[in-house]
Amino acid sequence: MKILITTDLYTVTTNGVVTSVRNLYDELVADGHDVRILTLSGNNNSRREGHVYYIRSISLDAVYPDVRMPTSYRHKLIKELILWKPDVIHSQCEFFTFQYASRISKCTGAPIVHTYHTLYEQYFTYLVPVKSLSKRAVSTFSKYRLKKVSQVIAPTHKVENVLRDYGLSNPIQVIPSGINLERYKNRITPEERMKKRRRLGISDSQTVMLNLGRLGTEKNIDELIRMFAKATEGRQDLVFLIVGDGPARAHLEELAAELELQERVIFTGMVDPAEVQNYYQLGDFFASASTSETQGLTYIEAAANGLPLLCREDPCLQEVLIGGVNGYTYSDEESFLKYFYAICENPRWRAIAGEHSRSIAMSFDKHTFGDSVEALYDAVVK
């Protein structure tokens, strides 16, 4: 089968969309399909590199960091893909490359499958500060954009419910994005773990709360820093390790300094993607305050690395976090502090919960993900 994947994002290494696209590509190619990816270039030059077609674009950092817009919707590379005649087009983003997907579909008759990765309401508040107006704008945009899509994929039931609330009438199938579990089976030795932690200024006796991912305002990491400050008053045995980079980093560093936490809130900045699993293993438990996730691949990655989870309540956690088994969800400062202390002061429970996390993560293997999407393609094409 000839499969074209269109995505605005492909080179951002810590983005969940990119992870999903790369894993899907690997699985489809392994099953013998002819797969090509259409995305935006990081500059004003278009090119083809193997299976990837890059269309020239300009930066829209003034609107939101890492967003780019194509400078042309008619290009010889698009014509090349039209002549290639894909059997199915799988769109991953609703904005710019969706235009290409629509045009290629119209010219070839290939049906469009679309994965709805992002809940935009919290992002739209950057432009429209009134929440009700943001929801209305996103709802109207989503219905208009996806009206000719043959099949929508939702990573979780949370996304499915949101799309139905928007009024979408398209067929929707829930298929969780998978991760490469083999990658996270590699364990660093206790000695190496100790050395890596010491290089970051973490002593052997300190317990580490970890957050890993893109540092965006919508991730709500400032809430974690404030509650960590409250939980650790007068204590030096606890550290908050923040792995990653993003537009909110400067604000978060200023907040940590304001709360006099410079020694116990550690920012690593961007890390080598090949080292990500090692950084997960430097933590004793994973924490998140985000409610903007559609699935939260970092939750699954943390679980695959054997970490208990402490996360703000959110429907996307239903299949990932079992309360009291591999972690806890909190709803306010009081419940955060309660579970924070329970996790920090019980290393035996952390070890047992970590094993439960690994077991739960097994159901998100990328092979299962690839097989499910492939079966959906077959059904849509037929």
Class of the CATH domain delimited by 2-178+365-381: alpha beta
| Residue-wise pLDDT tens digits, 325-334 | 999 999 999 9
Residues 6 or more apart whose Cβ sits within 8 Å of residue 5: 21, 24, 25, 35, 36, 37, 38, 89, 90, 92
What is the separation of C-alpha 210 from the centre of its chain, rounded to a whole number of angstroms? 16
Domain spans of the chain?
2-178+365-381, 181-363
Give dist(CA 286, CA 311) in Å, integer: 8
pLDDT band of 186, cuts 50, 70, 90: confident
| Residue-wise pLDDT tens digits, 138-159 | 888 899 899 989 999 999 999 9
Q: What angle, 0 to 180 degrees and rounded to 10, lies between the N-to-C axes of helices 249-258 and 221-231?
A: 20
CATH number of this structure's domain 181-363: 3.40.50.2000
Query: 317 pLDDT exceeds 60?
Result: yes
The mean pLDDT of 5-17, rounded to a whole number, is 80
**Per-residue confidence (pLDDT) for residue 318, from 0 to 100:** 87
What number of residues does the chain have?
382
Residues 6 or more apart whose Cβ sits within 8 Å of residue 155: 20, 115, 116, 117, 174, 175, 176, 177, 294, 295, 316
**Per-residue confidence (pLDDT) for residue 73, from 0 to 100:** 80
Query: 131 pLDDT exceeds 80?
Result: no
DSSP assignment string, 231-254: HTTT--SEEEEEEB--TTHHHHHH
Query: 128 pLDDT exceeds 60?
Result: no
Query: 55 pLDDT exceeds 80?
Result: yes
- Mean pLDDT, the chain, rounded, equals 91
- Which strands, in side-by-side order, build the sheet including 172-174? 47-49, 52-55, 34-40, 2-6, 88-91, 112-115, 151-154, 172-174
